[in-house]
């Protein structure tokens, strides 16, 4: 009997550590910005499977949001957050992986959902993960198919997607001087507008790495908002509009983990 009680206690501790169900919920009046990268099957032994949300699981997540009354907004709508209804969610996709078109796009159309695509301009034949950590030199992300301009135009024309900027080459901004930063941020925005005929109003810092200079250059470039990779749900959009937090959606999340992240903005004891 004692062993049974200890087993239950241990199971409860593991459950609490993994899900942190006890964290206080953030009121639903505050918009949730969700961060995705890929929607694809996992690859055996791959380093970046946490960035790959299974297609069936993504469908289940969007269906759950739809059935539970969440409103799908675009990042451009955060220019006036007071106009957004309670239970607003903003789906964001970083980088420009081809599976966004193949697997995520049909789901958005199916449920009438919308998303913002943070697109790297020069995204082909680049393993930008090495720009953050040299030991990531596996070629995994370089060989991951990227969206073609034709696919991006089709996505934008559908009304389900809005274009956001993610620099020209997915550079690590911390390694650049001010001239290099401006080229990545300002010129990158201009190139996207030139290619797709629409000026991106929102920016995503590559790797979530940025400093005060990057924030200034982003605002100076004409963006209205910018997102980070810091986990959480902001309760003051105006004050933090160039350092907005996001809810990270991992390829390892099950349905319960997803719902708890929507509730608190973070994942487990270690976030």
* Chain segment 93-130, per-residue pLDDT in tens: 999 999 999 999 999 999 999 999 999 999 998 887 76
Reply yes or no on whether the pLDDT at 8 is more than 80.
no
Reply yes or no on whether the pLDDT at 26 is more than 70.
yes
Under DSSP, is residue 21 helix (H, G, I), strand (E, B) or coil?
coil
* CATH number, position 85: 3.20.20.370
CA–CA separation, 114 vs 102, rounded Å? 15
Domain membership flag for residue 14: no
E strand or H helix that includes residue 39: strand 38-39
- Rounded mean pLDDT, 31-38: 98
- Note the pLDDT of residue 128: 74
- Note the pLDDT of residue 267: 73
Number of Cβ atoms within 10 Å of the Cβ of 117? 30
Reply yes or no on whether the pLDDT at 21 is more than 70.
no
Are 119 and 166 contacting, i.e. CB atoms less than 8 angstroms apart?
A: yes
Domain membership flag for residue 154: yes
**Poorest-pLDDT segment among 16-25, 65-74, 100-109, 238-247:** 16-25
Domain membership flag for residue 12: no
Among positive and negative, which fits the CA dihedral 27, 28, 30, 31?
positive
Reply yes or no on whether the pLDDT at 1 is more than 80.
no
pLDDT digits (tens, 9 = 90+) for 140-178: 889 999 999 999 999 999 999 999 999 999 999 999 999
Domain membership flag for residue 270: no
Domains of the chain: total: 1
88-95 and 32-36 strand pairing: parallel
CA–CA separation, 216 vs 50, rounded Å? 31
- What single-letter DSSP state applies at residue 232? S
- What single-letter DSSP state applies at residue 208? G
Are 203 and 165 contacting, i.e. CB atoms less than 8 angstroms apart?
A: yes
CA–CA separation, 49 vs 51, rounded Å? 5
- Per-residue confidence at 132, pLDDT binned at 50, 70, 90? low
Domain membership flag for residue 169: yes
Domain membership flag for residue 241: yes
* Structural domain of 121: 26-264
- Note the pLDDT of residue 2: 63
Domain membership flag for residue 9: no
Domain membership flag for residue 219: yes
Give the angle 154-87-208 at the CA atoms, nearest 5°. Answer: 60
């Amino acid at each position: 009997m004692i062993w049974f009680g200890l087993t239950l206690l241990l199971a409860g501790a593991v459950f609490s550590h993994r899900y942190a169900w006890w964290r206080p919920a953030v009121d639903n009046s505050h918009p949730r910005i969700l961060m995705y990268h890929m929607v694809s099957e996992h690859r055996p032994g791959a380093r970046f499977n946490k960035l790959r949300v299974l297609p069936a699981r993504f469908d289940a997540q969007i269906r759950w949001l739809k059935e539970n009354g969440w409103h799908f907004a675009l990042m451009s709508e955060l220019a006036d957050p007071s106009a957004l209804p309670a239970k607003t969610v903003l789906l964001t996709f970083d980088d420009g992986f081809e599976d966004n078109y193949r697997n995520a796009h049909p789901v958005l159309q199916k449920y009438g959902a919308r998303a913002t695509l943070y697109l790297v301009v020069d995204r082909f034949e680049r393993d930008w993960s090495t720009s953050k950590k040299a030991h990531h030199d596996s070629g995994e992300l370089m060989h991951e198919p990227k969206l073609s301009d034709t696919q991006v135009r089709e996505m934008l024309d559908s009304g389900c997607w809005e274009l956001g900027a993610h620099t020209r080459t997915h550079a690590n901004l911390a390694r650049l001087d001010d001239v290099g930063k401006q080229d990545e941020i300002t010129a990158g925005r201009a190139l996207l507008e030139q290619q797709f005929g629409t000026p991106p109003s929102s920016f995503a810092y590559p790797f979530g790495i940025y400093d005060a200079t990057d924030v200034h250059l982003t605002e100076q470039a004409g963006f209205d908002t910018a997102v980070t990779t810091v986990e959480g749900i902001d309760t003051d959009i105006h004050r933090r509009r160039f350092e907005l937090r996001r809810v990270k959606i991992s390829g390892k999340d099950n349905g319960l983990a997803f719902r708890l992240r929507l509730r608190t903005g973070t994942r487990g004891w270690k976030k």
